[in-house]
Every structure is written in C-alpha cells, then in structure tokens.
C-alpha cells in the first residue's frame, strides 16, 4: 500500500475543490488511518472557512496530503464569533478571512 501522505490533490477547477478533498480523504487515506483522516479534514475545513473556492483551489492544487498537513496543520482554527440554532438548523458565524493580498 502506498503512503497516504503522498496522495496528491488534483482538481480541475475551483468548483471541484470539495470533490477533490472527498476523493483524497475517502479513497487516498485508508480507513484504518483514522487520526490522519481527521487531521486532514480539520486542515481542509479550516482552510475552506478562511478562503474562497478560487483561493483554496490555488492552495491545494497539486499538493500532497503531507504537504498540506505540514503547511497548515498547525494553523489556528478560526474562532466562532456567534452560533445558534434556528428551526433545528445549527449555524456558526466566523470572522471573514484575511485579505490574502495584505
């Protein structure tokens, strides 16, 4: 079996970012690597909450699971500024992502 950290994220367009993540997580990282799957999910959803699909596509395209974990695994998770529940639907509000242009 190949090393799951070497799985390369490939997506053709920003609209395919979520599909590429699911493909890498479900098919590239074996189920017995539960901690790795959770760490990769945490990194992906942390990035997804901070960047647009276009920015996220540029960040993950062509990178390996291992590279993303090294680069963003220690990134602080955005803290919610508010949360609640309306008609059985839970929601969380975060600060907007920082402008990548500075």
Please spell the DSSP secondary structure of 15-84, one letter per residue.
Answer: GGHHHHHHHIIIIIS-TT-HHHHHHHHHHHHHHHHHS-HHHHHHHHTT-BHHHHHHHHTTSPPPPEEEEE
Has residue 102 been placed in a domain?
no
Question: For the whole model, what pTM was predicted?
Answer: 0.71
Has residue 99 been placed in a domain?
no
Please give the pLDDT value at position 2: 83
Q: 55-99, pLDDT tens digit by residue?
A: 999 999 999 999 999 998 866 666 788 999 999 999 988 777 665
Segment 16-33 mean pLDDT: 89
Q: Which range of residues forms the domain containing residue 56? A: 4-94
Per the CB < 8 A criterion, the answer to whether 97 and 46 are in contact is: no
Has residue 101 been placed in a domain?
no
Has residue 80 been placed in a domain?
yes
Number of domains within the chain: 1
Please give the pLDDT value at position 102: 45
Which residue has 């402008």 as its token pair? 99
Higher pLDDT, 76 or 102: 76
- Count of residues in the chain: 102
């Amino acid at each position: 079996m190949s090393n799951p950290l070497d799985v390369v994220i490939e997506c053709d367009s920003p609209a395919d970012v979520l599909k590429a993540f699911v493909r890498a997580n479900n098919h590239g990282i074996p189920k017995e690597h539960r901690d790795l799957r959770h760490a990769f999910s945490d990194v992906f959803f942390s990035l997804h909450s901070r960047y647009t699909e276009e920015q996220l596509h540029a960040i993950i395209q062509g990178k390996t699971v291992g590279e993303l974990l090294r680069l963003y695994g220690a990134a602080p998770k955005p803290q919610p500024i508010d949360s609640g529940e309306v008609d059985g639907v839970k929601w969380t509000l975060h600060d907007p992502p920082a402008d990548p242009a500075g």
